[in-house]
Amino acid sequence: MNNLKKVASVFVLLNVSFVLYSYSALHVDNNLNNEDIEAIKLLGVSNNCLGLTHAGFDEEVTCLVSIQTAVQAIGEDRCADKDDIIEPSEFIQRNFGCCFDRARFIEKAARYFGFQTRRVFIIQKKFGYSLTNFFPLNQASHAASEILTKKGWLGVDSNLPFIILDGNKNPKTYRAALADIDNFPMVAPRPFFIEDSIVKDFDVIYGLYSRHGNFHGKNFPGPEFVFSELLWN
């Protein structure tokens, strides 16, 4: 019995330590700071995005497209190093970035103007279940965003100038679009997801911001995430 108690105590201690480490070292802070706000103002989208509380869906789309367009116009399409910080002000100063930088900027700008956002991490499958693909195994990946509109979650790409609308101009999520890829061919993220005209098997993970733990300022090993967004999985 004593041995069982010891094993149980060690198990509980390990789990508590894991939870504390995950939250303190790997949790991504989605609050806006003063540097974020100054960077967002530089986008020049206020005319399209202020005062949307009583606006309709079309006005929301106009705002989000203007944010996407402004962010995609920043700098060179070249990924930052693993020890670079992926935040709007650093992106502007560095003047180059790729999907992670742009998704982060689009999401922070959207939240500044009153939208709810969640990160979409598209990853080539190594295992069957989404959350087991957290670990860095060199598989191809792409970061994008979904933003909650009056009609539902809208997929907004980071690198390419498209949002995901169906034929009736209703918003679609990445998961829904990827499940119907013939009708949403633009959603297949980058050529490395396609081989001999066949779309490879890939998955969507909500709330995963990086797999290595260096992008958002704390530099501890492990996947960086927003817990509340992981619940969407």
| Averaged pLDDT of the chain | 82
Q: Is the pLDDT of residue 120 over 50?
A: yes
Look at residue 212 in the predicted model and tell me its pLDDT.
66
Nearest to 140 by CA among 82, 206, 200: 200
Query: What range does the domain containing 168 cover?
Result: 31-230
Q: Is the pLDDT of residue 152 over 50?
A: yes
Q: What is the CATH number for 170?
A: 3.10.620
Q: What is the pTM of this model?
A: 0.84
- Tokens of residue 32, six digits: 């806006």
Query: What tens digit of pLDDT does each residue of 67-112 get?
Result: 999 999 999 999 888 778 889 999 999 999 999 999 999 999 999 9
Establish if 100 belongs to a structural domain. yes
Establish if 86 belongs to a structural domain. yes
Nearest to 77 by CA among 107, 99, 59: 99
Can you tell me the distance from the alpha carbon of 144 to that of 160, in angstroms, rounded to the nearest whole number? 10
Establish if 25 belongs to a structural domain. no
Establish if 20 belongs to a structural domain. no
Establish if 9 belongs to a structural domain. no
Establish if 17 belongs to a structural domain. no
Establish if 36 belongs to a structural domain. yes
Q: Which residue has the tokens 């992008």?
A: 215
Establish if 179 belongs to a structural domain. yes
Can you tell me the distance from the alpha carbon of 79 to that of 100, in angstroms, rounded to the nearest whole number? 8
Number of domains the chain is built from: 1
